[in-house]
Structure 1
Amino acid sequence: MSNWKTAFRSFYYENAKDPDDIILDPARTALLVIDIQNTYLETPDDKAEADRWQPFFDRMNHIVIPNNARLIEWARAEGIEVMFARIACQTEDGRDRSLSQKKPGFNYLLLPKERKDSQIVDALAPKGDEIVVTKTTDSALTGTNLRLTLQNIGIRNVIVSGIFTDQCISSTVRSLADESFEVLVVHDACAAATDELHERELEIINMIYCHVVGLDDLQGFVVPVLH
């Protein structure tokens, strides 16, 4: 297993000193699971397109969803706030969507909030009063009241997982960093369309907008603090 302090370094940080040890106070930490929704597990009707996306489906089914299930259960057991973000519009015709979700191609997203394909996958379903924000933007911070919610709860550290690493994960992480939250991205609980895109984006955001860590690293970061 690679050392999180030295892995995923871009050109900018090749020679930077190692970051300090991470200390997470559960009372000031939230887990944010982003966009793991039914729509992204639907196999395209076109065989060539289905074959093109098969590596992504394999990563989701065998790595990302199981690891997020572990991550969520770990957070619940530690007393860390578990939160979710999903893409969903308020209107049936999607007129409330941001421009990026109205453009043709992969990013064209019409996911009315009550429709089955817009829901979080059953394996990761929220429990009790866990907070779910809906967004029509890439950033879960820009397009929702998440910033205010995090502040109201007293959160300073945000652990991020989900999809897509190079799109909604990256956008959210950058927004959180600009608001001075401490951000961790769990690399083996995220995915992009390809592993190459996934790893490249991790290099881009690591050490400036977040620290990229593995699921197994997290347990060693939690230190309860008396308030």
Structure 2
Amino acid sequence: MSDRDSNYAGVYDRSVGFGERPALLMVDFAQAYFDPECPLYGGDGCANALSAGLELRRAARAAGVPVILTRVSYHPTGVDGGRFFEKAAPLEAFLPGRSTAEFADGLTPETDEVIVTKQYPSAFFGTSLAPMLTSMGCDSVLLTGLTTSGCVRASCVDAMSHGFRTLVVAEACGDRHSAPHEANLFDMNAKYADVVSLPETLAYLQRHACQTVKIVS
């Protein structure tokens, strides 16, 4: 056992488990992370996350679980991005008219999917996401997106802070480098959420679909 693991064992290893009424949250799967000419390009780490995210989306829709997509969009001056836009130069990729601000290939929003537009890292900050989830009766969030060390982590902390069971699907989150990806998965699992695998989440959604059918019938 590594020093890091032994330091956390018995301290930060509690699980909160899946909820009963989940929503799938897909954070910032934007073209910016898939365009080699864009400073935000994430290579295989982001491509693999999108593939897993799309698989989860299909399973969630089949199970009757609501799907929520986030996108980043700024005023042409970036003024609504405040200090975040001032600090992070690559956010210019999300200015109006930039192809990099569009959803990634394969993620065309369906008419029954809600799109949350944001200007800051967390999908919850300055948006109506938390009250919307509450009004929908959701008790948990299946969290996916880009990037693990940025907007996924920020959304994870806020989802937990708003009282939702938060499940971060490891394979459906991506970053430009494996080190921040793995470090942030480790830390989110320690303090804020359960980091779960794609197979166990797909199995959970399949069970959820069966339970839904049983209740309806």
Tell whether the structures are fold-level matches, with TM greater than 0.5: yes
Q: What is the Cα deviation at residue 114 of structure 1?
A: 5.5
8 Å CA contact 1:82, 1:130 repeated in 2: yes
Q: Does 1:59 align with 2:45?
A: yes
Q: Does 1:127 align with 2:110?
A: yes
Q: Does 1:94 align with 2:89?
A: no
Residue number in structure 1 paired with 2:119: 136
Number of residue pairs matched? 207
Q: Deviations over 1:152-211 (max 9, x none)?
A: 111111000011101100001001111111000011011122011100001111142110
Q: Does 1:15 align with 2:1?
A: no
Q: Does 1:72 align with 2:57?
A: yes
1:196-211 correspondence to structure 2 within 5 Å: 196-211=179-194
- Pick one of 23, 27, 31 that aligns with 2:24: 31
Indicate the RMSD between aligned Cα atoms, in angstroms: 2.6
Q: Give the secondary structure class of the aligned counterpart of 1:22.
A: coil
Per the normalisation by structure 2, the TM-score is: 0.84
Q: Deviations over 1:105-125 (max 9, x none)?
A: 44x435235543212113122
Q: Report the residue type matching 2:151 in the other structure.
A: C
Stretch deviating more after TM superposition (154-163 or 110-119): 110-119
Q: Report the residue type matching 1:93 in the other structure.
A: T
8 Å CA contact 2:18, 2:140 repeated in 1: no
In 1, Cα distance between equivalents of 2:73 and 2:6: 37
Q: Give the secondary structure class of the aligned counterpart of 1:148.
A: helix
Unaligned 5+ segments in structure 1 are: 1-8
In 2, Cα distance between equivalents of 1:170 and 1:202: 8
Q: Give the secondary structure class of the aligned counterpart of 1:96.
A: helix
Residue number in structure 2 paired with 1:117: 100
In 2, Cα distance between equivalents of 1:169 and 1:217: 20
Q: Give the secondary structure class of the aligned counterpart of 1:166.
A: helix
Cα 1:17–1:209 change in 2 (3 A) is closer
Q: What is the Cα deviation at residue 22 of structure 1?
A: 3.2
Q: Report the residue type matching 1:100 in the other structure.
A: F
Unaligned 5+ segments in structure 2 are: none
8 Å CA contact 1:83, 1:131 repeated in 2: yes
Q: Give the secondary structure class of the aligned counterpart of 2:94.
A: coil
Q: Which has the higher helix share?
A: 2
> Identity of paired residues, percent?
26
1:147-226 correspondence to structure 2 within 5 Å: 147-221=130-204, 222-223=207-208, 224=211, 226=215
Per the normalisation by structure 1, the TM-score is: 0.81
In 1, Cα distance between equivalents of 2:124 and 2:7: 26
In 2, Cα distance between equivalents of 1:201 and 1:152: 30
8 Å CA contact 2:16, 2:193 repeated in 1: no
Cα 1:120–1:179 change in 2 (3 A) is same
